[in-house]
Amino acid sequence: MFGPPGSGKGTQSVTLAEKYNLLHLSTGDMLRAELKAGTGLGKKMEAIMAAGELVPDEVVIEMIAQKIDSTTGKKGFVFDGFPRTVEQAEALQKMLEVRGMKIDLMLVLEVNDVELMDRMKKRALVSGRADDADEAVINNRIEVYRSKTEPVIEYGRSTGVSRQVDGVGSIEDIFDRLCSHIETII
């Protein structure tokens, strides 16, 4: 699931995972759990996350590999907030290949910047996330998305798996749009 910060990919991923018996894997959630638990890794990543920058590729790649290998009883995975760089996308593809899996679909939620900023400001009131509270950090996260993550969409386009989805509207309508793409491949 792709989309800029505030595009609704977290909300939609959770519900999609429930509906299709997939494991929801959010690298942001995993990193925040490390921070909360006060682990060595969490402490190392804290400043990077607070600034809205990306943590090193190898950190998230390793987290994802561990989760894939320890999961049973699911039909697949919804990756939320991963891959965020072309290097991560290549690593994911290799990781899946050696395990006899593949990327089936890349859903890209499209939301304009004005709407994004509005949603992020509302989310800041309830999320308790330090990186949601500061407008400069939000802007940086959007900028990082445009410069480092959007090239991953091109990568998905070249492999034929990416689908653009209108991310503006009610949560239910957007969910239906996403499901209609998934239904074409199952």
Residues in contact with ligand AMP by the rule CB under 6 A: 5, 27-28, 31, 48-49, 52-55, 60, 81-82, 84, 88, 131, 141
Q: Is residue 84 annotated as part of the catalytic site, yes or no?
A: yes
Active site residue 75: no
Q: What is the DSSP string of 29-60?
A: HHHHHHHHHT-HHHHHHHHHHHTTPPPPHHHH
| SS3 category, 136 | helix
Catalytic position from the list 67, 121, 129, 148:
129
Give least dist CB 168 to ligand AMP, A: 19
Q: Which residue is nearest to ligand AMP (CB)?
A: 28
Name, in order, each residue with C-beta under 8 angstroms of 99's C-beta and a sequence gap of 6 or more.
Answer: 68
Q: To the nearest whole angstrom, how small is the minimum distance from the Cβ of residue 5 to ligand AMP? A: 5
Q: Which listed residue (121, 123, 148, 177) is catalytic? A: 123
Q: Are 170 and 176 in contact (CB under 8 A)?
A: no
Helix (H) or strand (E) holding 106: strand 106-110
123 catalytic? Reply is: yes
Task: Report in angstroms how near the CB of residue 65 gets to ligand AMP at its nearest.
Answer: 13
Residues annotated catalytic, as ranges:
9, 84, 123, 129, 141
